[in-house]
Structure 1
Amino acid sequence: MTDHATGHAAELARFSVNQMTVKQLSLPELTDACARLGVPGVGLWREPVQSYGVAEAARLVRDAGLRVTSLCRGGFLTATDPAERRKALDDNRAAVDEAATLGTGTLVLVSGGLPAGSRDLRGARERIADALAELGPYAREHGVRLAIEPLHPMYAADRCVVSTLGQALELAERFPAEQVGVAVDTYHLWWDDRVPELVARAGAATGAEGPVPGGRIAVFQVADWITPLPAGVLLGRGQLGDGAVDLRGFRALVDAAGYAGPVEVELFNEALWARDGAEVLAETAERYVRHVLD
């Protein structure tokens, strides 16, 4: 192996590409492109994995020499209707099973928005806690940790009533760190001036059997915030370096908190999806080295 190749592999040692960043690639195309570029990790989404076949997807990723850094998504745990609630819990148990089959220890949870007609944010968050009490032990038994992802406050009404890292930690800290952690995503958290203290708090968590690597930080995801935002705000995740987020500063924060796991790039961006997927992957890896590493 050449010195250049060795250096490239070292630069990308923690790099992971979320499947949605290059969703134009089929799962076989994605694993092939990652293997050719030297990308070691992928974050997967349930829908395309289910379409391909969970066991088949696990085999495909494993044979390509990749690791699955997270599975997205579980959650949507705020329903008040008993039948809807049972359905959500069953779906989350299935998501845990899928994560275990794929060999990832992290299931990302998008907690859910307000039920129709409700304005009770506190009550919605309490229902999330009730669900975590049921799901946490099940996940732990299967070698999976639930990662509560706080989403930007603009999503609170319809997608996620957990809007800050502080709120995510207040939920997670009711449960053992081995069962419930948090997702730190730059796109959703970059605006909050409490993030440094909260990341440090997340990293300091210990489990029932002693220190947990990275504390409650189960996954670290990066994307940039670009303006003007597109009409579909969900699709406003900019390519690394194109926006307002101090990506390198965020990475330094999670590193200082003891997190040494993968750095997963998750971009929802129609302009990127319209391009050649392998080209976007190569560009994303280059941007990661330039804007996230030292």
Structure 2
Amino acid sequence: MAEARMNTLSVSQLSTLRWDLESDVHAYSQRGFGGIGLYRPKLDDYGVERTIELLSEHSMVATSLSWGGGFTGSDGRPFEDAVSDAVNAVIQAARLRAGTLIVLAGGKNNHIKTHLRRTLCQALVRVAAVASEHGIKLALEPFHPGCGDEWSFVHDLQSTLDIIERVDNPSLGLVLDTYHVGMDRAALRWLPDVAQHIHLVQLGDGRHCPHGEMNRCLLGDGCVPLPELIELLHENGYCGSWEVEVIGEDVELISYDHLLDHTKRYLDHTLGQLC
């Protein structure tokens, strides 16, 4: 059974993509981050058993595992292969005692909307049943259409909530990534409705609305109203992990050490305002 991750500060491994898993764990732990968002390619390179031992040595928890999904065939895989891979990811997450398994729906792949929703729900019903058996939370992530068409046809909180209600399994919730939804002021009005379904919050910032490749900046340097979003989530009962994802052209010339130091200072200051 996955442990509760109450207010754990975490960093997604995508933020330090060029480092290996061991370097990530050492650097995050050194700066006082208690969690790590694991990325499956890095996990596969290092090995699940070694990762379990390494996290234990540093008293660090896996706040998420990225990712399972792609059920629409947009990445070239047949439906059954994508479902089988997602089930394997659930079992990996259980072994790692990860807080959540992040799920991406897959791109449109020239399908009509009703077929896409039906395909996604069929997959999620099956994967959520396995997740329930293993005590793992599935977190469907809506992607901004400006940078995520190939990753997900689910773009907003309303659509995500509709899918969660259709699947009707408490193991299924959502990832709220502030980079993807935080620049839409209308999304703020949906937060009270979706707060009970949020399994993970990923904090991301950007200097402009997503267009093309994801291009995040250091937290606080962009136009996402992070303090307002964090306070609103807190007020609506969110008490899970805060996982940071910083990746893109605006930060690629910044050293990972500086990125992590800045992130920790920003979170300590911003979250400290809630106390």
Give the TM-score normalised by structure 2.
0.89
Q: Distance in 1 between matches of 2:244 and 2:150?
A: 24
Q: Which amino acid aligns with 1:52?
A: Y
> Partner residue of 1:66?
60
Matched position secondary structure for 1:181: strand
> Partner residue of 1:224?
205
Unaligned runs of 5+ in 2: 1-5
Structure 1 residue 151 displacement after superposition = 0.4
1:186-231 residue CA offsets vs partner (Å, 9 max, x unmatched): 100023333233221123xxxxxxxxxxx2110001111114878x
Q: Distance in 1 between matches of 2:209 and 2:180?
A: 16
> Partner residue of 1:19?
13
Pair 226,291 (structure 1): closer, same or farther in 2 beyond 3 Å: farther
Unaligned runs of 5+ in 1: 1-11, 204-214
> Partner residue of 1:211?
none
Q: Distance in 1 between matches of 2:165 and 2:210?
A: 34
1:77 and 2:71 equivalent?
A: yes
Q: Is 2:7–2:239's contact at 8 Å kept on the other side of the alignment?
A: no
> Partner residue of 1:29?
23
Q: Distance in 2 between matches of 1:229 and 1:196?
A: 18
Q: Which moved more, 1:14-23 or 1:282-291?
A: 282-291
Q: Distance in 2 between matches of 1:46 and 1:63?
A: 20
Give the TM-score normalised by structure 1.
0.84
Q: 1:152 aligns with which of 128, 144, 148?
A: 144
Q: Which amino acid aligns with 1:48?
A: K
The 5 Å alignment of 1:98-177 reads 98-115=92-109, 118-155=110-147, 157-176=149-168
Q: Which amino acid aligns with 1:277?
A: Y
Pair 15,216 (structure 1): closer, same or farther in 2 beyond 3 Å: same
Matched position secondary structure for 1:173: helix
Q: Distance in 2 between matches of 1:24 and 1:273?
A: 10
Q: Is 1:78–1:125's contact at 8 Å kept on the other side of the alignment?
A: no
Larger radius of gyration between Structure 1 and Structure 2 = 1
> Partner residue of 1:254?
233
Q: Distance in 2 between matches of 1:251 and 1:270?
A: 25
Matched position secondary structure for 1:55: helix
> Partner residue of 1:191?
183
Q: Which moved more, 1:269-278 or 1:98-107?
A: 269-278
RMSD between aligned residues: 2.4
1:120-162 residue CA offsets vs partner (Å, 9 max, x unmatched): 1232122101111111110111111111100002245422100
Q: Indicate the percent of aligned positions where both proteins have the same amino acid.
A: 29
Q: Which moved more, 1:284-293 or 1:182-191?
A: 284-293
1:87 and 2:44 equivalent?
A: no
Pair 144,161 (structure 1): closer, same or farther in 2 beyond 3 Å: same
Structure 1 residue 14 displacement after superposition = 3.1
Pair 157,40 (structure 1): closer, same or farther in 2 beyond 3 Å: closer
